A and B are shown apart, each in its own frame.
Chain A
């Protein structure tokens, strides 16, 4: 443990700590451009120069110099100031003075550090060089003349993005960052390059010239476009969401977010349901027409009270928040209907224990695992941030990863062990190969995707996986390697709230649709359900109420549309795939006449004669926490046991696991409405890319 002093303050650090890291621990700021604590050290910007007494009489790059015993580091001597000024002067030689028209202006490291550490004038009289801009995809806009060759983007792409596309081309005065051969960055994390770039060379294409950082109001919130629950910051001007940035959360998304999380937000302005609609007319002439909230809610209430309780059913969709699902469950309970389900993707998960359906070990624990088995999952498309962790685990530890399921394109090596449930059986029985590694592992981890359950024999597959978990002792002292990776942000919350068929008469998802088609279900309440073609599945005669925020599959089929708030427009709890309860915060007001979900359901309850025991959100939460204590602790992962395999689980089929997400960029009503996501899907050739979403 080397002991050293920095600016006279003595400290002891772990061997291998660099001076810049040690200074950071003391809160001493050292300017830098190329150094980034999640990337390898390049030491090529030279901005972090410090003086080390006793060493050679020249400034030292503090990011590349490890702390040594007895070092005396000075970060504010005349030598350091002079060195920084010199470096800054060189950096600015070829940097254009176009801050007024640069999107980075106001949040630019170079701008800030030039103010803090640079000269106040230039001595350079010659021509500045100019560099041709590169075309690297629909997310990142390049103005390469502004580039200072810090190479953060190159290192991010090859180390974290897993796509070695960018490099340093040519040398000396001609050096430029680029792919050399023009190509789009093959990563769904490309938006992070914009955050990494310390200057305005890489800026966000969709956000170009729309806002200045000082105009924006910032709200810390949670992303709902996948089940990871990435921590985000929503930047708002007026009542418009301008951009989404990542927020640091070491256990969830570190400091990255996927391109969908970041840029699907233009979908929040398109195809929105901003007023209630009611279908009037009969048969062919039936048409949705605008109406008032009173009319819409009355129509729903009349229908709900006009049929038998057992003829009512409710489904909760992908983007629903916990509070509204709780309210909806109370409503259904009050109506005495047992038919409700939240597994609208048809994934037959055994919900007898909480451990059966959450990512038990936590996302961060992927880094600790020493052998990982993927079953029926495409981590890259299901949850890009989980995939980034898997890659990190591979890069740091060369962890062995195997896959039973549809072969997928991942950015780390994966051994494929087949794609059917029978291959899982064979794996349990196997004695050598990956099975041996998995059996010998201290921290074996299995990640199961929805593809394993979204099938008729889903329950049997689940039982089989429970067997696998027992056979390999995935759950052991201090370690639970049984992980389910969800695709929808609302799912785990709804499962925690038990939004499932009640009692033995309760119909599940498939039975509800079947009943609706055959007439057993006469009124169907869709709470944000958009993941399948509703009218086709439900039949013509069922009365469909749709509550949600986008004119997508659900609204197209509805008889009544109740416009609700999107995730940026409400305070709400979401539970991510780890079972971590996180709070999304309201950044803007709901659009038009739309209302927050729980309020709509409460108002509807009143009309059908059900008084809910709360009048505002905090009362609702208190009631919810009382009944479901998991919601009592925010941002905590509670370990939960995995149940024993059920005795009766049906017959195992022999079809291969098929991943249902063929298109990463368009998975939900918001991203399907986004023109930028449509462009990404086309650019990256995703299966079934939808056309540009016009109004």
Chain B
């Protein structure tokens, strides 16, 4: 787990949602009954992160989605709570970035199942390819490498989350390949990096192979 520390030197003085995102904000707020708008804090924090990610893609150097302090204050204003309530939520989750990250935020799961399946080799491969250590961002702003707790993809361990996508069943080689593709703006295949569909058994089905599913006979009573 990383402890959130505010990046004091990189804070913009103000933040506002774009007009398109304001529509989304209204939509998010409308999901909660009147008087419970404070519940919208999490989707709004996520929206901020998506907005900054969109802005950061074309910036020089580029950066990924993160949440400036001004944005948290803006959310506090929108949902009418004191700013500390938003800070509490934002610092609780490792998915919210409170300092600028690279365009591709590589979050390696290192919790027990992934670790048993070789996550340390994955982290090592990332560090080698990016030339940075865990917790750092590459100079060109393309990658940030983080260690996170269980991604909930144990059945496909080792797993890595990059922005919104999961990359699973990784080896050092496939990990490096994914990173290489991302670097060159090619979308890699999302999901398991072996021949396997989602969490289905590797190499195809192992049971229920022999026959078509039997159509159940409906018992009709003779009249």
Known: A180-B6, A180-B91, A181-B69. A171 touches B1 (CB 8 A): yes
**Is the CB–CB distance between A172 and B84 below 8 Å?**
no
**Residues of A with C-beta under 8 A to B6:** 180-181
Interface residues of B in 46-93 (CB under 8 A from A): 69, 81-85, 87-88, 91-92
**Is the CB–CB distance between B92 and A180 below 8 Å?**
no
Interface residues of B in 81-112 (CB under 8 A from A): 81-85, 87-88, 91-92
Report how far A168 CA is from B84 CA in the complex, Å.
9
Known: A180-B6, A181-B6, A181-B69. A172 touches B88 (CB 8 A): no
**Is the CB–CB distance between A172 and B1 below 8 Å?**
yes
Which residue on A lies nearest to B76, using beta carbons? A164
**Is the CB–CB distance between B1 and A169 below 8 Å?**
no
**Residues of A with C-beta under 8 A to B1:** 171-174
Report how far A174 CA is from B2 CA in the complex, Å.
8
**Residues of A with C-beta under 8 A to B84:** 164-167, 179-180
Interface residues on A, range: 10 to 19
Verify if B133 is at the interface (C-beta below 8 Å from A). Answer: no
**Residues of A with C-beta under 8 A to B92:** 170-171
**Is the CB–CB distance between B83 and A181 below 8 Å?**
yes
Report how far A259 CA is from B130 CA in the complex, Å.
55
**Residues of A with C-beta under 8 A to B2:** 174
**Is the CB–CB distance between B69 and A167 below 8 Å?**
no
B111 to chain A, nearest CB (A): 13
Interface residues of A in 150-174 (CB under 8 A from B): 158, 164-174
**Residues of A with C-beta under 8 A to B81:** 164
Known: A181-B6, A181-B69. A170 touches B85 (CB 8 A): no
Interface residues of B in 8-28 (CB under 8 A from A): none
The count of residues in chain B whose C-beta lies closer than 8 Å to any C-beta of chain A is 15
B150 to chain A, nearest CB (A): 13
**Is the CB–CB distance between A169 and B82 below 8 Å?**
no
Which residue on B lies nearest to A172, using beta carbons? B1
**Residues of B with C-beta under 8 A to A164:** 81-82, 84-85
**Is the CB–CB distance between A181 and B82 below 8 Å?**
no
Report how far A172 CA is from B81 CA in the complex, Å.
24
**Residues of A with C-beta under 8 A to B82:** 158, 164-165
Central interface residue in A172, A173, A179, A180, by most chain B CB within 10 Å: A180
**Residues of B with C-beta under 8 A to A168:** 88
Which residue on A lies nearest to B82, using beta carbons? A164
**Residues of A with C-beta under 8 A to B83:** 181
**Is the CB–CB distance between B3 and A170 below 8 Å?**
yes
Verify if B4 is at the interface (C-beta below 8 Å from A). Answer: yes
**Residues of A with C-beta under 8 A to B85:** 164, 167
Known: A164-B82, A165-B84, A181-B83. A170 touches B91 (CB 8 A): yes
Which residue on B lies nearest to A173, using beta carbons? B1
Q: A167-B84, A181-B69 are in contact. List 12 more A-B contacts (CB 8 A).
A: A158-B82, A164-B81, A164-B82, A164-B84, A165-B82, A169-B91, A170-B4, A170-B91, A171-B91, A174-B2, A174-B3, A179-B84
